[in-house]
């Protein structure tokens, strides 16, 4: 650690102690812009044997319990690095050098699990319904959702998941270690939009280190210092993926991609279903190329919203489609009337009785049929001379010939007309 960094940290430690209470708000607002000081604090945390580590941890805890929102976020940005230092020291079984870090982590945890009045805090999370659109999805892009009675009864109902109350902890042990760290990482993820770029970089780096230390991939990543495996829980890995997913779209694509691959690698070795599901879902949703996101301004996760116009199917029955269907039927009817007038065909009526209702003999029937057929054929020949109606007359001529043949066959076979 350079003397310049030591001087910046010592000045920072003495400045806050002499600061009047009325100036805390303005001091906290300007503190986030001191990038040189933040880099120096990271170097102090990364050296467990540093003499400045204990006063720095004490100062960060004072910031956190001051009640000033800006000071609280200033402490939160160092949580990933503090967790890595604590886990690395725990893996080497040198717990004495991590006492101040452990105290800081426990202090932040115990402050977060209670409200301002000292009562246990219960956190609630609302799971969105897939039947309603959100910034993450459109119902139309998922596919058809059957409107069953059960689906309708659940429509509009939101599922709420509760976390807590969490017990107070006086020390970190192997049994409660990742319960505390998971909750702290949850608090960090809740303030991700306020974290600077150096904090997101630290998050991605410590996620990779935690997941590959002690495994063959550590040689590929060329990580040095800790060679023993660091145990992790499934819930802790899911919280790591939450921060990594945010880093993807906020200027840290390369580090986030490497961290996600390492978390997925560790989840496959541990056979943890939850991180496997989340990591594969993130991997499948990533665009092909690296996102060019600005590191300045408001940070957010970029998503694509399905256009509203595509929700209406082309085959959907609407008032316009019904109106158009009616117009088509009217046009077809008018065309049919025009074709009938052009053809001017008269289909002869075949009757088996006289007008008075008396039956006729077989001879009279055959003579009447012959006369009608001769008249009809003569009319067809006269009409067919017009070239405009030749193509339209052919089906009618075939029809009349078939009727005539059926009548003759019926008369010849039984002496009476058959239908």
DSSP string spanning 118-162? SPBP-EEEEEPPTTS--SS--HHHH------HHHHHHTT--EEEE
**Contact (Cβ atoms closer than 8 angstroms) between residue 180 and residue 172:** yes
| Residue 4 resides in a domain | no
| Burial label, 80 (beta-carbon count in 10 A; 0-12, 13-18, 19+) | buried
In a domain, 229, yes or no: yes
Would residue 34 count as lying in a domain?
no
- Tally of structural domains, the chain: 1
Residue 261 lies in a domain: yes
Residue at 248 is within a domain? yes
CA distance linking residue 376 with residue 371, whole number of Å = 9
Q: Per the domain annotation, does 320 fall within a domain? A: no
- The verdict on residue 270 lying in a domain is yes
Burial of residue 323 (CB within 10 Å: 0-12, 13-18, 19+) is: exposed
- The 10s digit of each residue's pLDDT in 265-286 is 999 999 999 999 999 999 988 8
> Does 216 fall in a domain?
yes
Helix (H) or strand (E) holding 163: strand 159-163
Q: Which residue has the tokens 């080497």?
A: 92
Q: Are 112 and 187 in contact (CB under 8 A)?
A: yes
* Residues in contact with 368: Cβ distance below 8 Å, sequence separation at least 6, in sequence order: 360
114 three-state secondary structure? strand
Q: Which domain holds residue 240?
A: 196-289
pLDDT of residue 95: 61
CB within 8 A of 35, min separation 6: which ones? 198
C-alpha separations of 266 from 209, 216, 241, 342, 392 in Å: 11, 11, 12, 83, 79
CA distances from 363 to 40, 204, 229 (A): 125, 107, 113
Per-residue pLDDT of the chain (419 residues; tens, 9 = 90+): 678 888 899 999 988 888 888 888 888 888 888 999 999 999 999 888 888 999 999 999 999 988 889 999 999 999 999 999 999 888 877 666 678 899 999 999 999 988 888 888 887 877 777 777 776 667 766 655 555 656 555 555 667 878 778 888 888 888 899 999 999 999 999 999 999 999 999 999 999 999 999 888 888 888 877 888 899 999 999 999 999 999 999 989 999 999 999 999 999 999 999 999 999 999 988 887 655 544 444 445 555 555 554 444 455 555 566 666 555 555 655 555 555 555 544 444 444 444 444 444 444 544 554 555 555 545 544 444 444 444 444 545 555 555 566 565 555 544 454 44
pLDDT tens track for 51-76: 899 999 999 999 998 888 999 999 99
pTM: 0.65
């Amino acid at each position: 650690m350079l003397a310049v960094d030591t001087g910046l940290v010592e000045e920072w430690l003495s400045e806050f102690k002499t600061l009047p209470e009325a100036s805390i708000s303005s001091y906290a607002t300007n503190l986030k812009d001191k990038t040189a000081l933040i880099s120096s604090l990271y170097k102090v945390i990364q050296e467990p044997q540093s003499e400045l580590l204990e006063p720095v941890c004490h100062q960060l805890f004072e910031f956190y319990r001051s009640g000033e929102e800006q000071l609280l976020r200033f402490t939160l940005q160092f949580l990933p690095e503090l967790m890595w230092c604590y886990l690395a020291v725990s893996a080497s079984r040198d717990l004495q050098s991590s006492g101040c870090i452990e105290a800081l982590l426990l202090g932040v945890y115990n402050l977060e699990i209670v409200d301002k009045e000292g009562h246990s805090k219960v956190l609630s999370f609302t799971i969105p319904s897939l039947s309603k659109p959100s910034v993450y999805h459109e119902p139309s892009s998922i596919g058809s959702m059957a409107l069953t009675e059960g689906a309708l009864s659940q429509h509009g109902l939101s599922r709420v998941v509760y976390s807590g109350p969490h017990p107070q902890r006086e020390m970190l042990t192997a049994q409660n270690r990742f319960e505390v760290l998971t909750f702290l990482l949850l608090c960090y993820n809740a303030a991700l939009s306020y974290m600077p770029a150096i904090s997101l970089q630290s998050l991605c780096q410590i996620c990779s280190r935690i997941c590959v230390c002690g495994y063959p991939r550590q040689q590929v990543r060329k990580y040095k210092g800790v060679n023993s495996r660091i145990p992790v829980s499934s819930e802790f890995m899911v919280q790591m993926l939450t921060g990594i997913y945010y880093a993807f779209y906020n200027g840290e694509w390369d580090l986030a991609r490497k961290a996600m691959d390492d978390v997925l690698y560790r989840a496959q070795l541990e056979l943890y279903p939850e991180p496997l599901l989340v990591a594969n879902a993130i991997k499948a949703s990533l665009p092909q190329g690296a996102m060019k996101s600005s590191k300045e301004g408001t940070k957010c996760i970029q998503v694509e919203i399905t256009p509203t116009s595509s929700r209406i199917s082309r085959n959907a029955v609407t008032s316009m489609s019904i109106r158009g269907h009616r117009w088509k039927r009217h046009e077809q009817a008018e065309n049919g009337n025009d074709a009938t007038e052009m053809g001017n065909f008269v289909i002869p009526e075949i009757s088996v009785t006289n007008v008075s209702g008396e039956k006729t003999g077989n001879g009279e029937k055959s003579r009447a049929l012959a006369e009608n057929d001769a008249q009809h054929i003569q009319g067809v020949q006269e009409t067919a001379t017009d070239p405009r109606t030749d193509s339209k007359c052919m089906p009618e001529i075939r029809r009349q010939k078939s009727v005539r043949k059926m009548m003759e066959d019926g008369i010849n076979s039984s002496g009476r007309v058959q239908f």
